[in-house]
């Protein structure tokens, strides 16, 4: 598919993340007005609440855009999602008949504040990247036992916290926690010393399921509304002491950042690709009927206080062993009810090469091989004042379907009350 041309000139720039082919959904505020739904087009935001008030668009009896979240639109279902996308194309394409009515409702992106694009119902995080699981398992348990015996048969996950999922730009306070060094006799309580990122994609569930009702992988794929970049901030020292036998808890509960624009599954359709070859045949309920992953180039940048941002890793979403659709199918397989607004973290996305690793734990190999930045500073883990930035896009023929960025600056730990 070529670039779809828009009358919004900046949307035709081959480098923009937000051409007409994309049309991602966010929540914005400006000039003291309340936060409401908007669509990114080039360097502009289309004010959906204003379009609704002007009766240029109406998808249900109740307004769905003059709200600080996209959940109500999601609940209208996939046919309405498709109708909205078609209407937006009509409004914004090069020869749009309604250009004159729509143009007054564009706001420069530089003038808006972006907010959480949805109310996250619940957050589940998976561990479905094979290179990451192998790297971490090798460090924690040795190369012979790197992958747990269940890993090639099911997408391992844990229930995380929706309460601390925050939008890109939110400062991240270094967590306090219980830490025990391997040689120490007793644990201590204090600031995390091994603070890390995890480069992930987040899948947003748009269609709910009934308790007790499993779904197929094909159905699960249809239930997904869209995707965001996701940084699963991780306190490695807290994690190492607390994680057995029930998995991560406080090491992950303090913060998860997402990018502000939900890139719809519809926008990603041209970039579908397959999961890697299976080493063990999957049970029938997890088999994919077609390509369920997406070819999305991803990068991690670090911006130390006062320095320029620089790339420390590049990888691709196509490295996942399990797709979001498989994860959703597995999640609902027991009869677990899934809700509109549920967020599924993919698991850390690392590639096979050293500079393709999606966490500092892997990049510095547990702190044994610190990375050197361009100005000579080294990093094993994140220091106070560092801003960590994720970015990503699918590359089309002369255009990008991009996610913007997902960033967070780390600030010092609080003192204990
Ligand atoms: Ca994770």
> Looking at residue 317, what is its pLDDT?
98
Please list the active-site residues.
Answer: 132
- The topology (CATH level 3) of 123-411 is Fumarylacetoacetate hydrolase; domain 2 (3.90.850)
- Is residue 140 scored above 90 in pLDDT? no
> Looking at residue 195, what is its pLDDT?
98
CA of 346 from ligand 1 middle (Å) equals 7
Q: How far is CA 200 from CA 58, 259, 399, in A?
A: 34, 11, 23
- The arithmetic mean of pLDDT across residues 359-368, rounded, is 97
- For 124, the 3-state DSSP assignment is strand
| pLDDT bracket for residue 137 (50, 70, 90) | very high
Angle among Cα 327, 329, 330 to the nearest 5 degrees reads 65
CA of 124 from ligand 1 middle (Å) equals 9
CA of 33 from ligand 1 middle (Å) equals 35
- For 361, the 3-state DSSP assignment is helix
Q: Where in the chain is CATH 2.30.30.230?
A: 9-115
pLDDT tens-digit series, residues 300-340: 999 999 999 999 999 999 999 999 999 999 999 999 999 99
CA of 125 from ligand 1 middle (Å) equals 6
> Looking at residue 318, what is its pLDDT?
97
- Is residue 32 scored above 90 in pLDDT? no
CA of 128 from ligand 1 middle (Å) equals 9
* 57 CB neighbour count, 10 Å cutoff: 18
- The arithmetic mean of pLDDT across residues 97-126, rounded, is 98
Letter string b/e over residues 237-257, b meaning 16 or more CB atoms within 10 A of that residue's CB: bbbbbbeeeebbebbbbbbbb
- Is residue 1 scored above 90 in pLDDT? no
pLDDT tens-digit series, residues 331-351: 999 999 999 999 999 999 999
* Average pLDDT across the chain, whole number: 97
- Is residue 112 scored above 90 in pLDDT? yes
| CATH number given to 9-115 | 2.30.30.230
pLDDT tens-digit series, residues 160-210: 999 999 999 999 999 999 999 989 999 999 999 999 999 999 999 999 999
CA of 232 from ligand 1 middle (Å) equals 5
Check if the beta carbon of residue 402 is closer than 8 Å to that of residue 296. Answer: no
* 76 CB neighbour count, 10 Å cutoff: 16
- State how far the Cα of 73 lies from the Cα of 188, in Å rounded to an integer: 47
- The arithmetic mean of pLDDT across residues 400-404, rounded, is 98
- State how far the Cα of 320 lies from the Cα of 333, in Å rounded to an integer: 20
pLDDT tens-digit series, residues 207-230: 999 999 999 999 999 999 999 999
If you count them, how many residues does the chain have?
Answer: 417
- The arithmetic mean of pLDDT across residues 272-289, rounded, is 96
Q: Where in the chain is CATH 3.90.850.10?
A: 123-411
CA of 405 from ligand 1 middle (Å) equals 18
- For 323, the 3-state DSSP assignment is coil
- State how far the Cα of 138 lies from the Cα of 242, in Å rounded to an integer: 19
């Amino acid at each position: 598919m070529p670039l779809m041309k828009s009358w919004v000139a900046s949307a035709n720039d081959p480098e923009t993340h937000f051409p007409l082919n994309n049309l991602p959904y966010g929540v914005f505020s400006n000039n003291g007005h309340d936060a409401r739904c908007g669509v990114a087009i080039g360097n502009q935001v289309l004010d959906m609440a204003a379009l609704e008030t002007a009766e240029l668009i109406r998808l249900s009896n109740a307004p769905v855009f003059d709200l600080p979240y996209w959940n109500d639109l999601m609940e209208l279902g996939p046919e309405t999602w498709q109708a909205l996308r078609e209407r937006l194309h009509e409004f914004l394409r090069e020869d749009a008949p309604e250009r004159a009515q729509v143009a007054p409702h564009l706001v420069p992106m530089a003038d808006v504040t972006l907010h959480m694009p949805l109310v996250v119902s619940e957050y589940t995080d998976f561990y479905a990247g094979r290179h990451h699981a192998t790297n971490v398992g090798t460090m924690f348990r040795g190369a012979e036992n790197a992958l747990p015996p269940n890993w090639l048969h099911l997408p391992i996950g844990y229930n995380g916290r929706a309460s601390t999922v925050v939008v890109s730009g939110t400062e991240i306070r270094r967590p306090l926690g219980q830490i025990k060094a391997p040689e120490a006799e007793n644990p201590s309580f204090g600031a995390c010393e091994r603070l890390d990122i995890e480069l992930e994609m987040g899948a947003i569930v748009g269609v709910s399921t009934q308790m007790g009702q499993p779904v197929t992988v094909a159905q699960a794929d249809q239930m997904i509304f869209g995707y965001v970049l996701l940084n699963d901030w991780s306190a490695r020292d807290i994690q190492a002491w607390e994680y057995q036998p029930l998995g991560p808890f406080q090491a992950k509960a303090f913060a998860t950042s997402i990018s502000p624009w939900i890139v719809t599954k519809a926008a990603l359709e041209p970039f579908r690709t397959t999961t890697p070859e299976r080493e063990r045949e999957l049970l029938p309920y997890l088999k994919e009927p077609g390509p369920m992953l997406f070819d999305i180039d991803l990068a991690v940048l670090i911006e130390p206080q006062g320095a320029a941002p620089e790339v420390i890793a590049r990888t691709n979403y196509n490295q996942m062993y399990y797709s979001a659709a498989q994860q959703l199918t597995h999640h609902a397989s027991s009869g677990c009810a899934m809700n509109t607004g549920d967020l599924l973290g993919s698991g850390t996305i690392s590639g096979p090469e050293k500079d393709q690793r999606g966490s500092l734990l892997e990049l510095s190999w547990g702190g044994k091989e610190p990375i050197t930045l361009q100005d000579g500073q080294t990093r094993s883990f994140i220091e106070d004042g560092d801003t960590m930035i994720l970015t990503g896009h699918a590359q089309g023929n002369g255009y990008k379907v991009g996610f913007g960025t997902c960033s967070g600056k780390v600030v010092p730990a609080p003192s204990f009350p």
